[in-house]
Chains A and B, each alone.
Chain A
Amino acid sequence: MGEYLLEVKGLSVSFCQYEKGWKRSRIQVIRELTVSVRTGEMVAVVGASGSGKSLLAHGIMGVLPYNASVSGEIRYQGEILTEKKIRQLRGKEIVLVPQSVSYLDPLMKVGKQVENGKKGRTGQCREALGRYGLGPETEQLYPFQLSGGMTRRVLISTAVIEKPKLVIADEPTPGLHLEAARRVLGHFREMADEGAGVLLITHDLELALQTADRVVVLYGGMTVEEADREAFQQEETLFHPYSRALYRAMPEHGFSFVPGSQPYVKEMPEGCPYQTRCREVKESCRKFVPLRKTERGSVRCVLWGGEESR
């Protein structure tokens, strides 16, 4: 495995909001989020809806809304990824595969959008679309004329038409049937094998485990565990109760389901975000829990008393 390409350490994102009248409040949607991607590596970020996956992607790309404030550290190739730097790199070295059709301009034809306004890329555009089974006629369609699966392929084409070093793919597979989803992930795998880094955002742990090298588990905007693929083969090599719950929820492990749901961002408790559902909850879960090294990664849980990670 190569050098660190992307390192996100202790990232937090909060939004400034006006509630009833003029009361200003700050809601914290991401805190203590830690993820890294090495060259040639495919890392999956797994988390439930609303756990802050898209915001992580937008935060790295520097496209969060104006009312968002970000703290923590984002490094690219070892250097702090400043606003100026990401402006130069995005769309070229670092690309985003966005989550849904709303990220396409509703009044612009697909071909033009894939080419992204750069002349002389008709051939590349056709090739990129063709790679995912979309013929040249797709270039003349408007986004509203695409099916869910076609949209997905078009969004992916916008990334592969560039020659990126880092791909951030926000849920690239929903809407695709299993075969197509595997093929798409296979392409990302190829890009990683050719030396790029891939950050795959998904809520589907099973699919992630088929191609990713490492998996980062998010809960309530926080990294709760990070481990390599092998660690996810058995429950015993996972340490956070939430990762274990995810493991048990996979079809081949019995579909078992933990009652309750992820707290809404405004009701997020101090300390471990999983404390409201955890069966092994302790008093110390209510305070900040550091990320600690495990055999195959790191975990943020009071049940694990290893050395603090980095």
Chain B
Amino acid sequence: MAAERGIWIGKQLFRMMVLLGAVTVAVFALLSVSPIDPLTANVGQTALGSMSPEQVEKLREYWGTDQPALSRFLAWAGDFIRGDMGTSLLYRRPVKEIIWERFLNSVWLMGSAWVLSGVIGFGLGILAGRKQGGVADRLVTGYCMLIASTPAFWIAMILLLIFAVHLQWLPIGLAVPIGVAAEQVTAADRISHMVLPAAALSLTGISNIAMHTRQKMAEVMESDYVLFARARGETERSIIWRHGIRNVALPALTLQFASISEIFGGSVLVEQVFSYPGLGQTAVTAGLGSDVPLLMGVTVITAAIVFGGNAVANILYGLVDPRMKNRRKKS
């Protein structure tokens, strides 16, 4: 039993490695055909024009454009496997350091948005699916439709306009106040900078989980076992707790882990709007500035987290659902 589980988890890990490898190749390939010339983008046309050919040659060497993509990739991959993620060309600091710093910023932002959208979305989904066509259902469905057809960055800008510009309750952007020494930044400062981006991310994240939960809940409420529970005198309330949540929780939790990628996707835009220095914004900066080592680093970390989420979703299903547990035992 334990050995089987070990093999199964090992397989999942192997799959993740292969996928990660494929993603790095894809990103590298895309970068090498990107129309952005790192030299013009980062040094500037005019500055380049006024430089001597030797200086330009040195710059070419620095940005790596003098070598073919394949050999650059192999060099990068070799270093990466040895644990060296390289040095950022834009920031001139180790990639590892930058990513760690940005990751910490993002973790709180995305983590709170992820938990909030999950919990609220689940609650709304249960409420809506409990009685299809009811008032709660129509409100929740309406909200989700509206949100699903609204881009995350647009919501971010609306929030910014209302709460930061008009009401001035919350700061306009960044992760910490401007002009304050790092040691003096309080937790309250950090939280107040996170509220708006987290709200923008959660507001969009809710609709997916809510609609999915609503659908499942509606199915459960129409099921034979709920009919029988009613016939046995269970109240609607008891039915929702004993049968509804029990049967909806697992698919919802799975979706929640699988939806980490969406939170990441949303964060790229939202962080951009709020100039929030997280992983998403770093990816945009690195991509536009052709900072290959940094972009590759961000990509690998992001992909690992997303794949990790999906793997957790799979594992959860296998470990928690009694039907799956048994199926694995048999096979």
Contacts and interface: CB of A to CB of B under 8 A. Distances in A.
Given A107-B246, A144-B323, A116 B223 contact: no
Nearest to B322: A142
Given A90-B233, A105-B243, A58 B227 contact: yes
Interface stretch (A30-38, A93-101, A199-207, A208-216): A93-101
Contact of A117 (B228, B242, B326): B242
A103 B228 contact: yes
B231 A90 contact: yes
* Size bin of chain B's contact surface: 20 to 34
- Tell me the dominant secondary structure on chain B's binding face: helix
Contacts of A116: 232, 234
B231 A91 contact: yes
Contact of A92 (B230, B233, B250, B323): B233
Contacts of A61: 230-231
Interface in B197-238: 222-225, 227-234, 238
Interface string A70-107: 00000000000000000100111001101010111111
A106 B225 contact: yes
Given A91-B232, A105-B247, A107-B246, A98 B224 contact: yes
9 contacts: A63-B230, A90-B230, A100-B224, A103-B225, A105-B225, A105-B242, A107-B250, A142-B323, A144-B323
A108 B249 CA distance: 13
Interface of A: 58, 61-63, 65, 87, 90-92, 95-96, 98, 100, 102-108, 116-117, 142, 144-145, 158
A82 to B, nearest CB: 15
Interface of B: 222-225, 227-234, 238, 242-243, 246-247, 250, 321-323, 326
A96 B228 contact: yes
**Top 7 nearest A-B pairs by Cβ distance?**
A91-B233, A91-B232, A103-B228, A102-B224, A96-B231, A61-B231, A105-B225
A92 B234 CA distance: 11
Contacts of A102: 223-225
Contacts of B224: 98, 100, 102-103
B222 A65 contact: yes
B228 A104 contact: yes
B228 A98 contact: yes
A58 B321 CA distance: 30
Given A96-B232, A106-B323, 12 more contacts: A61-B230, A62-B230, A96-B228, A96-B231, A98-B228, A105-B242, A106-B225, A107-B246, A107-B322, A116-B234, A117-B238, A158-B232
